[in-house]
A and B are shown apart, each in its own frame.
Chain A
Amino acid sequence: MSRLFPALLWLATGIALAFLLLPVAALFLRVAPADIMGALGSDVARDALVVTLETTLVAQALILLVGTPAAYLIATRRFRGRAVVITLIELPLVLPPAVAGIGLLAAFGRLGLLGSTLDAIGVSIAFTQLAVVLAVAFVAGPFYLRPAIAAFEGVSTDLRDAARTLGAGQWRTFSRVALPLAGGGLAAGAALSFARGIGEFGATIMFAGSLQGVTQTLSLAIYEQFDVDFDTAIAIGVELVAVSALLLLTVKLVPGWRRSTSLFPIGSAPSGSS
């Protein structure tokens, strides 16, 4: 009896691991490396890579630029409705991507809430590269915001107070104390939201469509290619796996970031193995 229980635990772990690794392994085993390189040279794959990098980097820059000060405010001030604000920020995390897509259309589309306003100033967002950026920022933003709030909350109030009594104004307190001390958590959050953004699919296809060279990202290209040319679809898949694995590895290996892994409230954190 005493040996059966651990055996069951090991069995369950083995099944889980095999199940999670099999699809990834299949990607690599199905097509020869040389063919992968060839497929990646195709116009579709190259266009998709460029669109993905452009849109993800712009979206990520927007997330960091707006998200960092917002996270600092939410983490360091006590105001009425703070808990509601945090819950609202978390909402996109649990929102099905298709709902996010239709929501973005309803807000920014031609017939949407802001559609006529945007039309009046000659801006049309839906089905442009800007739409991809918005979709990615909407879906991936909370993946940065939530850990960023936790990271700033982790910086003791005393340290910020100490900085103030030592003559540092609010700006210097933020840049010299809060930012460096929260840096690990912020970087880990950024890596996570980047990973989420690069794989964005549902909201993008609804709000931005899948136009090659304009709005077709790597994920969308896989979806379109798998009817036409299965090997190219697989090659792009391998490319995405490589990028994601690299991100995960970065989060795991940069020492300062590891202690921040507990900052992920949604269980998506890589658990520290040390």
Chain B
Amino acid sequence: MSVLREGWNRAIAPYREEDGALFRWLRLDPWLLFALLLLLGVSVVAVYSASHQSLAQLTNLGIRIGLGLTLMTVMARIPPRIYQYWSPWLFGIGLVLLLAVELFGHVGKGAQRWLDLGFIRFQPSEMMKLAVPMMAAWYLAQRPLPPRPVDVIVTLALVLAPMALIMLQPDLGTALLVGAAGVFVLLLAGLSWRYIAGGALALGGIIPVMWNVVLHDYQKQRVLTLLDPEADPLGTGYHIIQSKIAIGSGGVFGKGWLNSTQSGLDFLPEGHTDFIFAVFSEEFGLVGVVLLLVLYLFIILRGLVISVRAPTVYGRLLAGSLSLSFFVYVFVNTGMVTGLLPVVGVPLPLVSYGGTAMVTLMAGFGMLMSIHSHRPFMAAR
């Protein structure tokens, strides 16, 4: 028992001398960094195979990983109080940009998501994945906790406004992640169980309304397809059928790296982006899947530990929300690829090929590390 307790204490302990000067100077958490590098390694291996061994895409991925790591390092060095200070500004700018997208947005893949700023095309909804939990944490950090009803209502309004705008684009996956990030802040702040139960009931009541009013036909189709993918094997059910074939044919030990026939022969579309989990499962089997999910679980738990150990309310709420959002990414993506959940456009975090999501995620981890490494006594030093 004492060994366990010793290990636990070590794990949740803040920065220690023996962690080394470099990490201390960089303000990086070696545990988290190690796990993230491992995950990015998985990404390189999986994307190389799923993109038909395209060197161009591998190069792109390398550039993005480099960018992400740099961004993470930079953001880890910025103290949390700066984030706290800028939270409402960031949120405000994000909201304005979302409105701008709604008005002059660039249509890509049938949905308005991009804002063309002339020199760069920018996705404000992606920024909101960080800005919304920052804003919620900023607001609640100034209120007595557990939050009073009025604060709950204000926070919910702060979350729902950008969520609704993102849904209008329409981008259900991102709206879901943004909403979840905001709600996680409320839950971690100590929202009373009565509200949670009430909210769950209300959500249950909203679903039929959502179905009839909010959801677009293609989104409804995705849900229906999930329930019975074989009904339309060449149309909307094709993705999920081919994805299940890919995973199922992998077996316990998988077909081996670069041996995916489902992706290699183009039967599984988007094998290197949203459906990369299927290709990974096909090539590395159940053993690979369990190891990958253990790695994810480790990152999430490490994030929660950082949250618990954070010195400020803002830091605790933000760190917890970011960690749990990361979990939502993992669960929604693996759930949809394995046919448990409808197909919503959520990538497998840090593994799927795709630029913006990776940059946002790495920025989030930078903030996590900043929260972890900036403590009053260290800041004072």
Chain A bound to chain B: no
